[in-house]
């Protein structure tokens, strides 16, 4: 039986993922700032609202109602978004615990590691990494139990070979059944690459543009 998928409502992303993000697992969109992670989170949110509520955990104040309306959302939709805006990694943990009791059709965590990064240091890293793993375990459990997709985003930072951070990255990778990398090609163009998937070939890629009304397949231009 084919695993159910949630469409993004955008051809280029749905084609890459063979229909959308899978129910029952955690999908991770990662990339540098401006690569389109929040846009993708918003598009999946909008697409899912037809089916029910969405829990949107915004740790970077990246959720913009203005952008949401630009991509086709309406005021009524906002009532169906259970918006959470934790200010610390501890608050993020509480919010994720709370989600267990709700009944959403999608959970978005944008981003899973920004508050983790603020919290972690050389003294507490074992404990904080354990907490990160525990939050991801809960999200994976919810995805499986409630048969819904969970989307997390993960900012990628350029030069950082710190061992503490690397272990954090491994923890996130471990719990993500699907990994999708986003790259900024230039001001307009973005590259999306499938890096890990349970049933699709890795390395599959496409180019897209972030536009006024959402995301579109990149056009080939003659300069």
Residue 209 C-beta: closest distance to ligand ADP, Å: 8
Q: How far is CA 206 from the centre of its chain?
A: 18
Q: Judge whether 26 and 152 are in contact, CB under 8 Å.
A: yes
Residue 150: strand pairing partners = 26, 107
Interaction between residue 39 and ligand ADP (CB under 6 A)? yes
By beta-carbon proximity to Mg ion, the closer residue of 23 and 37 is: 37
In the bound complex, what is the minimum distance in angstroms from residue 102's beta carbon to ligand ADP? 24
38 touching ligand ADP, by CB under 6 A: yes
Residue 40 makes CB contacts below 8 A (sequence gap 6+) with 8, 13, 29, 151, 153, 182, 215
Nearer to ligand ADP, 33 or 87 (CB): 33
**Rg (alpha carbons) of the chain, rounded to whole number:** 17
Tokens of 165: 């951070």
Instruction: Measure CA 114 to chain center.
Output: 13
Contacts to ligand ADP from residues 40-69, by CB under 6 A: 62, 67
Residue 35 interacts with ligand ADP (CB under 6 A): yes or no: yes
What is the β-pairing status of strands 21-22 and 150-155? unpaired
List the alpha helices (DSSP H) in 100-185: 114-119, 125-146, 163-175
Give the CA count within 13 Å in the CB-facing half-sphere of 49: 18
Nearer to Mg ion, 7 or 114 (CB): 114
Rule CB under 5 A: is residue 38 a binding residue for Mg ion? yes
Stretch 182-211: interaction string toward ligand ADP, x if CB under 6 A: ----------------------------xx
Q: Considering CB under 6 A, how many residues would be counted as binding ligand ADP? A: 14
CA pair distance 118, 18, nearest whole angstrom: 36
**Chain residues 161-180 in contact with ligand ADP, contact rule CB under 6 A:** none
37 part of the interface to ligand ADP, by CB under 6 A? yes
Which residue in 34, 74, 162, 166 binds ligand ADP (CB under 6 A)? 34
Structure tokens at 183: 């790259």
Which stretch, 4-12, 62-70, 78-86, 101-109, contacts Mg ion (CB under 5 A)? 62-70
Binding site for Mg ion (CB under 5 A): 37-38, 62
């Amino acid at each position: 039986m084919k695993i159910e998928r949630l469409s993004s409502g955008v051809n280029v992303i749905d084609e890459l993922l063979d229909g959308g993000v899978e129910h029952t697992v955690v999908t991770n969109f990662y990339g540098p700032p401006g690569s389109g992670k929040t846009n993708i989170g918003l598009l999946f949110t909008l697409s899912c609202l037809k089916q029910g509520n969405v829990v949107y955990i915004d740790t970077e104040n990246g959720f913009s109602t203005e952008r949401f309306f630009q991509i086709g959302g309406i005021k009524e939709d906002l009532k169906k978004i259970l918006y959470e805006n934790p200010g610390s990694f501890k608050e993020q943990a509480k919010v994720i615990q709370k989600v267990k009791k709700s009944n959403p059709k999608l959970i978005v965590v944008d981003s899973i590691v920004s508050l983790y990064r603020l919290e972690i240091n050389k003294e507490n890293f074992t404990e904080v990494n354990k907490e990160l793993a525990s939050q991801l375990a809960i999200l994976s459990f919810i995805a499986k139990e409630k048969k819904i997709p969970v989307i997390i985003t993960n900012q990628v930072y350029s030069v950082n070979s710190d061992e503490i951070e690397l272990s954090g990255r491994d923890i996130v990778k471990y719990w993500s059944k699907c990994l999708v990398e986003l790259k900024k090609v230039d001001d307009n163009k973005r590259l999306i690459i499938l890096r890990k998937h349970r049933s699709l070939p890795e390395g599959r890629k496409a180019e897209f543009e972030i536009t006024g009304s959402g995301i579109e397949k990149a056009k080939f231009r003659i300069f």
